[in-house]
Amino acid sequence: MPLKKTEALTPEQFKNIVKTIQEGFLGHRPNDRIATLLAAQGNLGLRISDILNLKLNDIVWSYNHYHIEIVEQKTKKKRDFTVPTPILEYLKDYAKRHNIKEDELLFKISERRVNNAINDAADYLNYDTSKIASHSFRKFFATQIYINNNYNIALVQKLLQHSSPSITQHYISMQQKDIEQALENNVMLPTNNTESKETKGNKGSKGKGASKSKTERELKREILERMLAELEDE
């Protein structure tokens, strides 16, 4: 059976799915474990296979900050990056509620059960279940990091342990090419006096600033979509 082609969640979808699973819904009891797992995945950007193997003692203190040290299940690469203190405290509170020791798995559950819960919650919320699964939470993380950090693809690549720096360079080069093309397309020079009134009328009421803003948004969205497509197998 082919893997589902997932899409990144919106912030609203992320919050609603986690809350729905946390509180319970039609035919489903509240599930603190899965809700916490998904909240952690959306805030750390880990693959589901790595979240399921996460322990509190994987998060260590050194050089004046907390960071996570794991070996990724899929790539076998070492993963080491900063964990915000609020995320660590969130996981500690969860572990305390469920009497989970630091050297024990935080989430003793199968990937299948997690994805079933996501699917049922998404269906309950009338979301497109054909495009939502656990990987959507990793893509949510990537999307929010990208948007909220000045569209910094290199930062996303580092945080996600993307397969190669060349992928980031590829995206950056495409971004530059697209920006150059956008600037050419956006040239607006004064017309000569022979321009017809009909031509002038077709220009519409949009100003230069509005046109440029729309173009930039479209470019950034296209770049993000390319990045997420690459992330599908990452």
More confident residue, 193 or 128: 128
Catalytic annotation on 203?
no
Which one of 47, 94, 127, 146 is the catalytic residue? 47
Q: Is 96 a catalytic residue?
A: no
Per-residue confidence at 23, pLDDT binned at 50, 70, 90?
Answer: very high
Cβ(6)–Cβ(61) below 8 Å: no
CA-CA distances (angstroms) from residue 115 to 50, 81, 146, 220?
15, 26, 25, 30
Give the CA diameter of the chain: 81
All domains in the chain, ordered by first residue? 11-148 (1.10.443.10), 151-187+208-234 (no CATH)
Q: Could you give the 3-state DSSP secondary structure of residue 200? A: helix
Has 131 been annotated as catalytic? Answer: no
pLDDT, position 45: 86
Here the tokens at position 205 are 């009421």
Residue with tokens 């009891």: 29
The answer on pLDDT for 171 being more than 80 is: no
Active site residue 65: no
Q: Any residues with CB less than 8 A from the CB of 47 and at least 6 apart, and which?
A: 72, 73, 74, 135, 138
In this prediction, residue 193 carries a pLDDT of: 55
If phi > 0 it is left, if psi is from -120 to 50 it is alpha, else beta; for residue 161 that is left
Lookup: tokens for 92? 């500690």
Whether 197 is a known active-site residue: answer no
Asked if 90 and 84 touch (Cβ cutoff 8 Å), the reply is no
What amino acid is encoded at 205 in this protein? S
Higher pLDDT residue, 78 or 207? 78
28 catalytic? Reply is no
Among 33, 79, 94, 135, the one annotated catalytic: 135
Structure tokens at 106: 């935080």
